[in-house]
Structure 1
């Protein structure tokens, strides 16, 4: 199983995990999160992030999910990547996380594609004339 590491601003990562727990009615295994604040120095956070990456990895790799491309959490995530073993995606949202939790038994390439498609497919215009 591929581990999941949410590296986000503030409490976003934990909030997403709690929402996923609500939807799935359980806390998924091998998922960790680290929330960064405005005061955090990326170089100071890196050792802690590496340690947490190890907590999520059972030997099948880890997908690091971050919120905003180019922001501090994303920059830390980029320093953790090892192609094929530790990959990262930006733009995390709840549909993306749920998709990743569903496909994490597959290979990393498949998981990356499902993560991005889950994030994109979860963004929809709600038309009052066609609402479910």
Structure 2
């Protein structure tokens, strides 16, 4: 099973996990989150991020989900990338996270593809 690691601003990651728990009626395994605050030094968080990555990895890899590309959380995620084993996706939202959970038993390529399409397809103009 592919692990999930959310690296986000503040408590967004934990809020997404709580929403997932509500939808699924349980907390998914192999899912961790790291909230980054304005006063955090990214270089200080990198060792912690590596430890948390190891917690989420059962040997099949980890998808790292982050909120805004180019911001501190995504810059930390970028340092964790190991192509094919640790992949990072920016723009996390609840549909994306649910899609990762749905396909995490498959291969990394499929999970990444489904995550991105789920995140995009989950954005709709409600009329």
CA drift of 1:110 comes to 0.3
Mapped to 2, the partners of 1:40 and 1:121 lie a distance apart of 33
5+ residue gaps in structure 2? none
Indicate the residue corresponding to 2:61 in structure 1.
61
5+ residue gaps in structure 1? 128-132
Counting matched residue pairs gives: 127
Indicate the residue corresponding to 1:5 in structure 2.
5
Mapped to 1, the partners of 2:119 and 2:13 lie a distance apart of 15
CA drift of 1:122 comes to 0.2
Mapped to 2, the partners of 1:44 and 1:121 lie a distance apart of 35
Indicate the residue corresponding to 1:24 in structure 2.
24
TM-score (norm 1): 0.96
Indicate the residue corresponding to 2:92 in structure 1.
92
Q: Following TM superposition, where does structure 1 have runs of at least 4 consecutive aligned residues deviating by more than 4 angstroms?
A: none
Classify the secondary structure of the residue corresponding to 2:60. Answer: coil
Classify the secondary structure of the residue corresponding to 2:34. Answer: strand
Cα RMSD, aligned residues only: 0.3
Larger Cα Rg: Structure 1 or Structure 2? Answer: 1
Indicate the residue corresponding to 1:115 in structure 2.
115
